[in-house]
Structures are given as C-alpha cells and as structure tokens.
C-alpha cells in the first residue's frame, strides 16, 4: 500500500475542482510550478496517475475521482477543526451544523432555542430541516436528529426518546366526542397513515377499515391540521407535548402505539466527534430538554381525564 503524502492533498483537491493548474495556483497563492510539483509528487508516491492531461485542462481520471471521494470529506473535517481551534483561541462562537426533520425542528426544537442560547451563547446552531437523509460526512454536518431503526453505517447513534403514537384532537373535537367511547373515533375524519390507525384500533380489539381523509409527509403539518379541527390525528407524543400542555391539543384515548412498532428518535454523528465539546454540550442539553418534555407530559396526564 503506497503512503499518501498529506501535504499534497490540499493542492490535489483544488486542482480537481478547477481543472486548471494556473487557476489552482492563484487560489492557493502558490506558483504554477509549485502546484505542478505537488501533483507530480502525489502521483509518483502513489505509483499511478490521477489526472488526464488535455491541453491546458487537467481532468480527474477514475482513480483520481475515487481518491477525491474519500479525501475531500477528511479535508473538510480538518478545515472545520482548524476553524474551531481558531475560534476557541479567540474566544469566538463555535458552530454545530445540524440536520433534522422539519416536524421535529418546528414542533420541538425551535420553541426551545432561546434556552439553548441562554445556556450556550458561545455555540451557534446551523439548522438544516429536510425530509431527505443527509450524508453527514460528505455534506459537512456534525450531527443529525433522525427517526429510524438504525444502525447507520459509519456513524454513531444514540437513542433519544421512546415516543409512542397517540390519538389527538382539537378541544372542539374533544367536546364533540365526550363520553362516546373510543370506537367513536372511527366516525370522525382521520388524518395520517391508514396502517397506523388500523394497528391503533386493534389495540382495543377493534378491526376498523380506515380511509383517512388526508395523509401528510410531515407530522408538523398534520398536527396543525388537527389543531384546526380538520380531523383526528395519530402523532408522536413528544411532538405534541407543547400543544398538549398549552391546551391546543387534547389526548383522546389511553391507547398508544409503542415506539418499537414505529420509528424512534436518534442522535447520530460521526464517531470521531463523540468527545467534541460543542457536540457533548448539545447532546447533554437535548437529553435534559427531552426529560423536561416527558415530565410535562406526565403533569398534563395527572391533571386531566382522558375523554373516551
């Protein structure tokens, strides 16, 4: 296995991106000759060429493209580490790049951001809300909050919370259903996945053919629809915690689909960041806030009656 001359990799990355030695030299603030020598040193050390020369153009070949795919994320991590070190030395704020589902961002994280800022004013959060699963290393993210069963290859995952699916309605729906029994929900407009509702009704021994009036690709949107009394929804308890406490939503039944029958919430990150102080602080804060959410749900349950 040939040794990789690490000092040549920054030049390799820039040349691969620009496809021109002179332009790469200008960006790197080096001479054209110096950049050419670094590429030659890298290829000589490896024992094979990484670029095809086409006149003034220099284009990655298959071997070069394979090397870049693995080298570029590592260089990005080194750049991020250097920026963090400089920021720490200067007493400046550090940054955590976070990706998560829009529903978790909207319904749980954003209402708690002021408490994060009070606790850690020196650590900024860059929040990327998306339905798509992001490649953390390739895209340069430090951490993801995901729903799933795991594991995720090459990443470390810590389960955050058990959060079952519960039946929720608006206060108006709760008044309408008062005293009618759980089966009365089948007569209401139902929102969400039919398979989840059918499994939910089966908890009480009822076989109900469910035809929801609307389905959603985002739980936050569904909860907004429930709050506006468009129908009855099944949602993860933690996402509804604030609305339950504030009286915008009402839990309609003690039945709950357990977390092992749906997807749990996880904190996912590259293993090399496990002991990174900003991420340690964020993970500890997450656990503390989720514990407060569970406590709040317990308080709501202790001071209210389930209606059905």
Q: Do the beta carbons of residue 148 and residue 103 sit within 8 Å?
A: no
117-136 pLDDT, tens digit each: 999 998 999 999 999 988 89
Say if 200 falls within a structural domain. yes
Which has the higher per-residue pLDDT, 121 or 138?
Answer: 121
- Tell which of 86, 109, 126 closes a domain: 86
Say if 1 falls within a structural domain. no
Q: Are residues 58 and 114 in the same domain?
A: no
Strands 264-269 and 156-161: antiparallel
Q: Are residues 53 and 171 in the same domain?
A: no
Q: Are residues 250 and 294 in the same domain?
A: yes
Which token pair is 3? Answer: 């040794």
Q: Are residues 47 and 146 in the same domain?
A: no
Q: Are residues 77 and 136 in the same domain?
A: no
Supply the CATH number for residue 263's domain. Answer: 3.40.190.290
Q: Are residues 212 and 258 in the same domain?
A: yes
Number of Cβ atoms within 10 Å of the Cβ of 6: 12
Query: Is residue 258 pLDDT above 70, yes or no?
Result: yes
Q: Are residues 163 and 204 in the same domain?
A: yes
Q: How many CA atoms lie within 13 A of 220 on its CB side?
A: 14
**Whole-number pLDDT of residue 210:** 84
Say if 157 falls within a structural domain. yes
Q: What is the DSSP string of 255-304?
A: EEE-GGGS-EEEEEE-GGGTT-HHHHHHHHHHHHHHHHHHHHHHHHHHT-
- Full domain range(s) for residue 54: 6-86
**Whole-angstrom distance, CA of residue 226 vs CA of residue 234:** 9
Q: How confident is the model at residue 57 (pLDDT cuts 50, 70, 90)?
A: confident
Q: How confident is the model at residue 308 (pLDDT cuts 50, 70, 90)?
A: low
Q: What is the DSSP string of the chain?
A: -----GGGHHHHHHHHHH--HHHHHHHHT--HHHHHHHHHHHHHHHTS--EEEETTEEEE-HHHHHHHHHHHHHHHHHHHHHHHHHHHHHTPPEEEEEEE-HHHIIIIIGGGHHHHHHH-TTEEEEEEE-SSPP-HHHHT-SEEEEEES---TTSEEEEEE---EEEEE-HHHHHHHTTS-GGGGGGS-EES-HHHHHHHHHTTT-------SB--S-HHHHHHHHHTTS-EEEEEHHHHHHHHHHTSSEEEEEEEE-GGGS-EEEEEE-GGGTT-HHHHHHHHHHHHHHHHHHHHHHHHHHT-----
Say if 177 falls within a structural domain. yes
Q: Are residues 34 and 153 in the same domain?
A: no
**Whole-number pLDDT of residue 88:** 60
Q: Are residues 56 and 112 in the same domain?
A: no
- Tell which of 57, 86, 115 closes a domain: 86
Query: Is residue 51 pLDDT above 70, yes or no?
Result: yes
**Whole-number pLDDT of residue 84:** 62
- Tell which of 86, 112, 128 closes a domain: 86
Query: What is the count of structural domains for the chain?
Result: 2
Q: Are residues 71 and 138 in the same domain?
A: no
Q: Are residues 265 and 290 in the same domain?
A: yes
Supply the CATH number for residue 82's domain. Answer: 1.10.10.10
Say if 179 falls within a structural domain. yes
Q: Are residues 64 and 185 in the same domain?
A: no
**Least confident piece of the model among 33-42, 116-125, 210-219, 257-266:** 257-266
Say if 268 falls within a structural domain. yes
């Amino acid at each position: 296995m040939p040794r990789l001359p690490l000092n040549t990799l920054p030049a390799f990355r820039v040349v691969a991106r620009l496809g021109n030695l002179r332009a790469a030299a200008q960006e790197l603030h080096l001479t054209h000759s110096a950049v050419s020598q670094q590429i030659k040193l890298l290829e000589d050390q490896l024992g094979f060429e990484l670029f095809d020369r086409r006149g003034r153009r220099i284009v990655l070949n298959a071997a070069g493209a394979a090397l870049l795919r693995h080298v570029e994320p590592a260089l990005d991590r080194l750049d991020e580490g250097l920026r963090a070190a400089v920021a720490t030395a200067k007493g400046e704020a550090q940054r955590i790049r976070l990706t998560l589902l829009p529903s978790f961002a909207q319904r749980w994280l954003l209402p708690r951001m002021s408490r994060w800022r009070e606790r850690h004013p020196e650590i900024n959060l860059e929040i990327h809300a998306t339905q798509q699963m992001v490649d953390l290393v390739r895209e340069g993210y430090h951490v993801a909050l995901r729903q799933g069963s795991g594991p995720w290859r090459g990443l470390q995952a810590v389960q955050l919370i058990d959060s079952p699916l519960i039946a929720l309605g608006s206060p108006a729906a709760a008044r309408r259903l008062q005293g009618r029994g759980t089966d009365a929900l089948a007569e209401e407009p139902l929102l969400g996945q039919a398979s989840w509702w059918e499994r939910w009704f089966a908890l009480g021994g009822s076989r109900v053919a469910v035809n929801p009036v609307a389905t959603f690709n985002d739980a936050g949107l569904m909860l907004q629809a429930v709050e506006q009394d468009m129908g009855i929804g099944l949602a993860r308890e933690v996402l509804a915690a604030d609305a339950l406490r504030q009286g915008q939503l009402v839990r309609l039944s003690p039945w709950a689909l357990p977390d092992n029958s749906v997807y749990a919430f996880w904190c996912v990150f590259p293993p090399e960041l496990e002991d990174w102080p900003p991420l340690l602080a964020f993970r500890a804060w997450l656990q503390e806030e989720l514990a407060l959410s569970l406590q709040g749900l317990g308080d709501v349950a202790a001071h209210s009656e389930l209606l059905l």
